[in-house]
Structure 1
Amino acid sequence: MYFDVGRLGELVKQRELMKLKEVKKEPGYSWIEVKNKTYKFFSGDTTHPQTPEVYDLLEKLINDIRVVNHASTLSEISTPHTELGLCNEGKLLYHSEKLAVCFGLLNLPAGTPIRIFKNIRVCSDCHTTMKHISKITKHEILLRDNYRFHHFKQGCCSCGDFW
């Protein structure tokens, strides 16, 4: 929340206070259902048997997105997070919803909408990435976070980029 409104100093203070008081924040995770089975992903998750394929696809998609200049958005987010020690670019690139969408692309029939659920709010980088993935792959992506439904189709989101 502080990051989204540019109050980075207050964000650092809150994180330090949380650490001092030993407050643990709930880790973000996403889940997707494929063939009546639920698959859960955490940021940077490498526990799934299809991890190599999921990561290969995600890296290919990220490279395709960078070609169309999404890199500027990524650096706007990752640089402050990295400088403040909140996140490294690797973790940002491998957020749970990105892993889940790639798993869906690999395992769902062509043309099937990809439905992902997330326990916390989707970050702006993942939101932008989902828009690009929907355009590149021509898949509809439905992402439910704890605030709203996002319906990504042909590079646009139903929330109008206000979430």
Structure 2
Amino acid sequence: GRLPPEGALDVVERHGYDIAPIDVGGTDGETTLLSYVWPDQGARLDRLRGAIAVAREVPARLERRTAADAVAGLTPADGALTVLWHSIVWQYLGADERRAVREGVSALAGRAGDRSPFAHLTMEPARDWSGSGFRFLVRARRWPGGRLAVLGQCPPHGVPVTWH
């Protein structure tokens, strides 16, 4: 499909949350992340090195938090779109944590308004039915309104994305 429209984005704030965040500002964090990629996956290593370069140039504030605590701490910003993004994380959360994240997303959606919209973007595995193979869907739900859109589909490591 066609790529998403090009255009400038004005990112007001960036935050990263993880139960064990890795700061790539120094060589220790970079080495740790690079060690997670299989050595025969050159394209993946190149993408990661590019992402590390971007993270060093445009850093995000990293915080050690559970997913539920991170979502509970978010508030839709007045005059800006608040975006919650996660990819390939859902399968690592227990049932209670997933429920708490869903409740947090619902609370954010309830506080969203025309001047403070909220979008939940995900790239997570999905099945059409029990026993079928996984598809990795890029999905977006935006409030007010709450309409769900499947933006694309990709392999587990995200490239290439087939945009819908």
TM-score normalised over the length of structure 1: 0.30
Relative to total residues, which structure has the larger strand share, 1 or 2? 2
Relative to total residues, which structure has the larger helix share, 1 or 2? 1
TM-score normalised over the length of structure 2: 0.30
